[in-house]
Amino acid sequence: MERGKRVIQLAPNMTEGRDTLELRNYMEISVDHYLPNLLRAFPDVCTCEHCLMDIKAIALNSLKPHYVVTSKGEVYSKLDEMNLQYETDILKALIDAINVVSKKPAP
């Protein structure tokens, strides 16, 4: 009981002055990060909202999710750490997805 009480008292202080913590799929953040630049190499693919969402969905379905706990200010430093590890897989998944959508754009 004593232990439980302390946790309840400490919790508000621990989060005070900090950004809210978020659970994010790193792959989703990365796909948003890489896609705009990558699309410049594919001038023929449709970039309407529906096609962009299709590209993201196809790419994310082919990538293993990788969840990270971040505060808002921290997202980008985590991205840097992990970019090298996953960059090749993410770019390949996005290019495959762009090719699928460019052959069959959203109606």
**C-alpha separations of 60 from 30, 50, 53, 88 in Å:** 10, 15, 10, 14
Per CB under 5 A, which of residues 88..107 are in contact with Zn ion? 105-106
* Shortest distance, position 30 Cβ to Zn ion, whole Å: 22
**Least Å distance between CB 107 and Zn ion?**
8
Three-class secondary structure of residue 68 per DSSP = strand
**Count of residues interacting with Zn ion (CB under 5 A):** 5
CB of 58 to Zn ion, least distance (A): 13
Build a one-symbol-per-residue string for 10-49: x at contacts with Zn ion by CB under 5 A, - elsewhere: ------------------------------------x-x-
**CB closer to Zn ion, 51 vs 75:** 51
Instruction: Supply the minimum distance, in Å, between the C-beta of residue 69 and Zn ion.
Output: 34
Please compute, for residue 19, the number of CA atoms within 13 A of its CA located in the half-sphere on the CB side.
10
DSSP for 9-58 reads: HHHHHHHTTSPPEEEEEHHHHHHHHHHHHHHTT-TTS--SHHHHHHHHHH
For the chain, the C-alpha Rg in angstroms (whole number) is 19
Binding residues vs Zn ion (CB under 5 A) = 46, 48, 51, 105-106
